[in-house]
Structure 1
Amino acid sequence: MAFQGAHHFTIGVNGTVAQTFSSQDPVSVLRSARAVEAAHTSKTASYAPKCHPGTRAKVAGDIVAWAVAAGLVVPTNDGPRPTSILWLHGPAGSGKTCIIREVAECLSDLRLLAETYFFSNRISGLNSEKPFMATVAHQLLGTMPEAKRTILKAVADNITIFGESLETQMVQLIVNPLVEIGEAGSGAKRILVVDGFDECMINERAHLLQVPRLLTATTPSLLLIIASRPEFDIRTAFDNYAYRSITYPLRLQEYDERSGNRSYLCDESWRIRESHPAKASIPPSWPGEEVVDLLVWKSSGCYILPSTVIRHVDNPRRIPVALLREITDLLRAQGAAASTVNPLAPLDELYTMILHSPEGDVALIKRILHSLPRLQGMRSSHFRTTTFFDDLFGLEHGATNMALCDLHALVEVSPKYGIVPHHATLHDFLSNQARSKDLFQPRLETFLDLACACVRNLESWARNPTEYLLVQQYARHNILDILDWLLSLLFLSRDSNPFELPQDLLGFDARLVWRCSLVSSDTSNARCVGGLGQVDALVSGFKSLVSTFAFLSIHWGPSQKAHDRTAVVPRYIKTDFKKKKKKKKKKKSEGSSGFCRLLDSIPMNFS
């Protein structure tokens, strides 16, 4: 068509063509399309948290050094390689945005900053790609005045440009002006800083992820600094060769920030001691070394816990000592009921949001995360890999990886270290029913699940003795301890209605552990290669477990109190089981003979 691509004209009723000009000023069009609050100079940014003095200095310095060196700071065997993108990634609550704001200020002072954009799902409109190019282009008018004429001409020539594709906007408003500057010989390296990439809407993120590569490929004078959580789609994009070859990844967890956590907590505590209306009642040594050590350990190098603690304690209408005690009591009392006021509510909201990912399998996530602390005592990280969890629970290979793929903001999944939580407070959260709600799982249920998994794997080995897998090694080594935990938790359970023992445990032949030990090649570290006495202890332990469940089911109704259980049952079962496990002989007292006869009368599945 003759008029295809044409603009600034109208067609009259009689077919005449008249040229027209928009009355809109291109600067006004640009301003109306941008997101004011996305820039690092916005009013929102002026109230945003900043890095505490002396904290995050190393990582911020490394990022600025990369920018100053124009991307040539990545050490390799052959010397530094050129890169055009720096990707800073780290867990939720680790302070990425504070770091990026500080970096942006520093680059602005060095006259290296071209533009900034801070995505956010907490401010309306900042979780969308729509205002991205307009905001970047508007900032270029001030940071690179030599690009102003080209940018405004592109807007004047196409007033509807912000209704067109992101690629079209990028080429006309960013690429063309910067290329023109480079051809004129004034193309010094400038930095585009983008924070919160993961907070852009998921349906737009795949599209937006193409922009950094296209920008750096077409404009050599532009470098990009991107910060985000390591979400699955972002990790996948940066792991692609097209990105990997031009990207310098910075992993925030590699920077030890425990001293920064300590410095922040001590400085803020001192400020509260000096300025609080009740400062006369606050001891000079408050909060004390023990409390600071606890908070630093629970912080795991992140700042969301310390900042939550200080916000809660810094209340002029309440006594800081009492407020801090609320938090430390909550952190120390795993599994205890929470008080009516939860000082860690902001932290809990973050965990709840991430763990309820839109397509996540919450049941499997609970199963994995509640079992993980029971495996962290194992000396080898092989017992914490995703493949191990797949084999342990009889899942399809890859199921654990898929369940955790959207949780990398909370847990690291690596071939070397297995599954490792980023936050020490995650286990505290999951162990407290009042805080974690539907994500809570009683310890008794977790140990029952592990016991059944061990039984299934040992029975699988019995059907195919030529194959001895890592999970069968784990089952053989740990079944005694798991059983002991089950008995202990059963005695201490507050539930007066014992649930039915799983069939996997009722029908298990405990002598399989001994047979598994005989053919095992790792006898140097075998728990159960100690003679038939160990097998007797295991068989006795399973008998005690089955007997206990049967006894409670038959003789105790809903009104039975939990403390009565611990007063009677352990007198025989728990004590006898532990003694047999330690290969110690002890005569049964006459007082327990009636109870023993009751247990003996219950049918067993052991010969």
Structure 2
Amino acid sequence: SFSGRFDAGTGKQYNIGRVSGEHIHLGTDDNVLSSLVNEEGAAFNSREREHEPCCLPGTRTSVLKAVTEWADSPAEAKILWLNGWVGTGKSTIARTVARDYHNQSRLAASYFFGDRRADYFVTTIALQLANMDPGLRQSIEDSLRRHPLLRRQSLSEQWRRLVLEPLVGFLRGYDGKPMLLVVDGLDLCQEENDIGLIVKLLFEACDACGDRMLVFLSTRPEASIRDEIACIEHREVMLQREDASTDISLFLSDELSRIAVKVGTETGWPGKETIANLVTKSDGIFAWAATVCQYIRDGRNKTTTISRLHGVLQHRITNTSPQGKLDQIYTETLNRTVRSTWDTCEVDEYCHSLRETLGFILILQSPLSVDGLNPLLGRDDAGSILGDLHSILEAPAHPDKSIRLHHYSFCDFMLSEERCPARFYLGNQMQQHRQIAERCLDIMAERPEWNDDSNGSQSLTVKMETPELQQSSISAFHYACCYWVHHAQRGKIDLTTGSRVNLFVQKYMQKW
């Protein structure tokens, strides 16, 4: 119900104080911007993010150089999409970019999602724009006065009135280098439909503002983002695991030397060999290295600090240990693949398919592509099952490129009943080995050449190359020929007379 003062009449403006418990401002209120909600902690320089790090000087130089060249040189692509799997330092790079362009007075706004809803995305951006320039502030205030119910309307309408139109007007008289809008972690937005919408809104801003507005977008390479951004012109920068080792080594050396000074360890602690060991364990995951340092730093004293480092090297896992933090990321990533719109039966069916698919991938003796994996599964949906797991798996869009894990610890996590959620836990691998062995026999037995009696006793040669040296993965048939015995042994399949394996060998071994 309405409350407060209500002035009606020709030429009069209204001032309604409250509607359903929330403030709405109409008329010439000097504090009209107070009607907009600011999402706390969304801006890169908010109080909540004060202690989050930027890139250490001398690290991530190639990525930051690519961003600078894109932002400073006119280009057709007005959106730069930085993507990489979980824990590779995307948010740290985004904070660094936001800080650098803020210092150059070229940052229009920044928004770091971090598992937020998109409800206040536009209003938060609008408030940052209003804070950037008095002219922008006036334009946004005027829009709010003309459209007093705007904050209750759609994100698209809010974007048009509070961001797009004010920005276009402001940039008409702007002759400097392009302004930058930084958005990080859009893939973590709680409502998947809003992810695609925001990508479209960002593109609208770039399109309307011409060469004067650019968007830096950093996310995991999940399907919800890839599908949307594929439809618009953009530049893509991928964070590669191979590029991170030197930077992680520099980061660890710097952080641990600070800890050594603080707790008073001996000179040179922990040593180059230990640093190299930690770099190997990180396997390109910056989040792991950062968590290691925080975990060790929280030891507070010399004895606990040294003990914690030893525990990391010995792979001791607790809730606060680096691997415990990585387990939380794995759990969150897996949980996000389950849609809230599915009923119980659909969730159970999906989780079964996911367990089977991941279970096969983790015990394969040689990486397979999606096309190679599908025949082993006896299904054709491996690609769609893995579509939301690109942040923890390298599952190339090309169906002939091999699927690989980003970090070795994911395998341990999936096989640990204590660490992995029950609905994703893989359980006994013996059954999975048995399933693969059975499918290998099926795939080989279905080979036409092997069932052609015209070949008589003529042997069939299967040419193999070393899988590690191939750009594409081996086929399901080649994999079956090479590794069916391994899986049969691990699955403890019956080899006695009259068993399926025994009959297969009798029928086909002479054609091998």
Q: Do these two structures clear the TM 0.5 threshold for a shared fold by scoring above it?
A: yes
Confirm or deny that 1:224 pairs with 2:215: yes
Alpha-carbon distance, 1:349 to partner: 0.9
Aligned counterparts, 1:13-24, within 5 A: 19-22=12-15, 24=25
Confirm or deny that 1:38 pairs with 2:27: no
Alpha-carbon distance, 1:141 to partner: 2.4
Q: Is the 8 A contact 1:455 1:505 kept in 2?
A: no
Alpha-carbon distance, 1:17 to partner: 5.7
Alpha-carbon distance, 1:37 to partner: 2.2
Worse overlay, 176-185 or 351-360: 176-185
Aligned counterparts, 1:142-541, within 5 A: 142-184=131-173, 186=175, 189-201=178-190, 202-220=192-210, 221-240=212-231, 243=232, 246-253=233-240, 256-276=243-263, 279=265, 284-286=268-270, 289=273, 291-314=274-297, 315-317=299-301, 318-330=303-315, 344-356=323-335, 357-359=337-339, 361-375=350-364, 377-378=365-366, 384-395=368-379, 397=380, 399-414=381-396, 415=398, 417-436=401-420, 438=422, 439-461=425-447, 465=451, 470-486=475-491, 507-510=499-502, 512=504
Structure 1 326/214 Cα, relative in aligned 2: closer, same or farther at 3 Å?
same
Alpha-carbon distance, 1:96 to partner: 0.9
TM-score, length-scaled by structure 1 = 0.68
**Aligned equivalents of 1:406, 1:10: Cα separation in 2:** 54
Alpha-carbon distance, 1:428 to partner: 2.9
Structure 1 139/463 Cα, relative in aligned 2: closer, same or farther at 3 Å?
same
Structure 2 residue runs of 5 or longer lacking an equivalent are 17-24, 340-346, 453-459, 463-473
Q: Which amino acid aligns with 1:358?
A: V
Q: Is the 8 A contact 2:206 2:214 kept in 1?
A: yes
Q: Is the 8 A contact 2:368 2:475 kept in 1?
A: no
Q: Which amino acid aligns with 1:363?
A: H
Bigger relative CO (Cα 8 Å, ≥ 6 apart): 2
Structure 1 158/186 Cα, relative in aligned 2: closer, same or farther at 3 Å?
farther
Q: Is the 8 A contact 1:118 1:196 kept in 2?
A: yes
Larger radius of gyration: 1
TM-score, length-scaled by structure 2 = 0.80
Name the counterpart of 1:59.
63
Q: Secondary structure at the match of 2:446?
A: helix
Alpha-carbon distance, 1:392 to partner: 0.9
Structure 1 17/199 Cα, relative in aligned 2: closer, same or farther at 3 Å?
same
Q: Deviations 1:373-394 (Å, cap 9, x if unpaired)?
A: 443x53xxxx511121110121
**Aligned equivalents of 1:130, 1:504: Cα separation in 2:** 64
Structure 1 residue runs of 5 or longer lacking an equivalent are 1-7, 73-81, 122-126, 332-337, 488-500, 520-528, 530-607
Q: Is the 8 A contact 2:82 2:238 kept in 1?
A: yes
Q: Which amino acid aligns with 1:273?
A: A
Confirm or deny that 1:112 pairs with 2:106: yes
**Aligned equivalents of 1:504, 1:274: Cα separation in 2:** 66
Instruction: Give the share of equivalent positions with the same residue, in percent.
Output: 22
Q: Secondary structure at the match of 2:108?
A: strand
**Aligned equivalents of 1:183, 1:103: Cα separation in 2:** 25
**Aligned equivalents of 2:34, 2:494: Cα separation in 1:** 66
Q: Is the 8 A contact 2:495 2:502 kept in 1?
A: no
Worse overlay, 102-111 or 440-449: 440-449
Q: Secondary structure at the match of 1:38?
A: coil
**Aligned equivalents of 1:200, 1:165: Cα separation in 2:** 17
Q: Is the 8 A contact 2:255 2:293 kept in 1?
A: yes
Q: Secondary structure at the match of 2:100?
A: helix
Q: Deviations 1:60-107 (Å, cap 9, x if unpaired)?
A: 22212211114x2xxxxxxxxx11111111111111111111111111
Alpha-carbon distance, 1:188 to partner: 5.2
Alpha-carbon distance, 1:329 to partner: 2.1
Q: Secondary structure at the match of 1:37?
A: coil
* Number of equivalences: 460
